[in-house]
Each structure stands twice: as C-alpha cells, then as structure tokens.
Amino acid sequence: MTNKKCLIFAHYHSKGIIRADIIDFLKKSQKIFSEIIFVSTKIKKYEIKKISKKIKFIRRKNSGFDFCSYRNGWEYLDTKYNNDLSKKDIFFINSSILFIKPEKLLNAISKKVLSGKEFWGLSRSFELTDHIGTYCFFFSGILFRNKEIYNWWKNIEALDDHNKVVSKYELGLSKLMIKNNIKLCSVYKKNLKLKTNNILKKIVQRFNEIFFKTPKYYKKNPANYFWRDFYKKYGIIKIKLIKSNDSKYGIQKLHSLLKTKNLLKVALDN
C-alpha cells in the first residue's frame, strides 16, 4: 500500500530563520510522509536552501497566523488532487514546538489509523472549551467530503487578532467537528483520565482543590502543565512555555534541562 500521509508544516520565526531542530524534524519526517508542504511567512531567502527539494515550499504574506498557513498548504493539496483528499491522511504541525527528539513525536502520531469519524490531535484540552490543540493535529481526508467542513477550510481568512484566531479557528475547528458528530481524540490521555465522571473521585478531587489548593489540572493546557510527559513521550516542548515566567510550570527545571542540551537560547530567540 502506498503511503497516503501528508504533512502541512506552518513555519514562523521572528528573524526569518529555520531552526536546526525543525530541519532535523523535516528530515526525519520524510521517512513517514509521502508529501510535505512547508509554508512560511517570514523566511529569509538564504534560509530556503536548507529545505530539501523534495519538500514543497510555499511562501506567503505574514498575516493570519498559522491557520492561514495551514489553509495554503491544504489548498495546494486540494488542487493537486482535484478536490478529493479522501485517500489521504492530513497532518498539521507548526513551529511553536521545540523538536528535541522528533522521532518520538513522529512515532506516536504516525501509528494512528485514521477514519472518517475521528478528529485527532497530540493533545486535547478543556481550557476555555473542549478542543484539540492545533499545534499538532491530524485526520482522514475523508472528512473533506463533508461540505460544511470543506467550506470551513476554504473560507479561513487572515485575522490579525490572536484571540479571534483562537476563538474562530482553534476552538472553532473542534466545535465544527463535534457539530458534525466527529469524535475528538488525543494521543496524550493523562488529563483526560483526570476528568472523571466517578462521583467518589470527584468528591476527593474537590476536597483537594479546597483544602490543598490543588488546581483542576484536567482544565489546564496539558502541553504546559505536563510538559515533562511531553518531553519524555514525544520529545517536544512548547516554545511559549519556555518563554513563560510562570513558576507553577517548573520553568527553572525546564530551563536547566534545555541549557544542558544547548537549546535554551534557540527557543528564546524564536
């Protein structure tokens, strides 16, 4: 059976460079994906040569955040396959991740068998509302046979307000899937297990919240609160977390880890 997996990678760097960890990720991704579309908004011309010629490169105007890059990559594939992506599995990943051991992430996501009834992400969050994290998500192209889902992607527009992008596109995509009876699924499940319907466990959880000030971890962004798991299991860390000064995430330990790998400056300069 031919490889039907396609990757759309949304790239942005404040200085227009491609980080070395992204180059490594793309190199290893070529063993997993039959096609890779790399969409960038601010890349320097001399940096483009770092990208393999086997990868489709698209440069676009720096507006609309990652969802416009995702849309451009999707439009390229949609046109190439004559508006029929039903035989493809489409993966979307962006450069907000520091890829420390990319083979772990690739191994975790590439094993999933995708169907037309599921919408997958590396993580599922209950922060704000139930949704799949759009830094890494994937689903069967069969879903594009649904006119509402197809038109949603076709009508993605460049919004310059990040909060509006989160509301309309990141949260909106999961709402769209739920509306169309598509199940939200995530590779990482620890936070899902904390969200229990068991009455006794809920009583214990509530007791801990009141008397021990234990936060409702299942409602938090799992990629932040469980960053140690994401590093161990998938070899990644979110760059926004690295730049955070919030002590509740254990930032000092995170920075110490990255310093030993000479990756702290790489992340902070992104």
pLDDT at residue 208, as a whole number = 54
Give the pLDDT score at 221. 86
- The predicted model scores a pTM of 0.90
CA distance 189 to 51: 34
pLDDT tens for the chain, 270 residues: list them: 456 999 999 999 999 999 999 999 999 999 999 999 999 998 999 999 999 999 999 999 888 889 999 999 999 999 999 999 999 999 999 999 999 999 999 999 998 999 999 999 999 998 889 999 999 999 999 999 999 999 999 999 999 899 999 999 999 999 999 999 999 999 999 888 776 555 555 555 554 555 545 455 556 789 998 999 999 999 999 999 999 877 778 888 899 989 888 888 888 888
Residue 55 near residue 37, CB atoms below 8 Å: yes
| DSSP-based three-state secondary structure for 260 | helix
What pLDDT does 175 receive?
97
SS (H, E, C) 106-138: HHHHHCCCCCCCEEEECCEECCCCCEECCCEEE
Q: Which of 115, 126, 9 is nearest to 57 (CA)?
A: 9
Q: Quote the CATH superfamily of domain 5-188.
A: Spore Coat Polysaccharide Biosynthesis Protein SpsA; Chain A (3.90.550.10)
One DSSP character per residue, 38-76 reads EEESS--HHHHTTS-TTSEEEE--S-SHHHHHHHHHHHH
Domain ranges for the chain = 5-188, 191-268
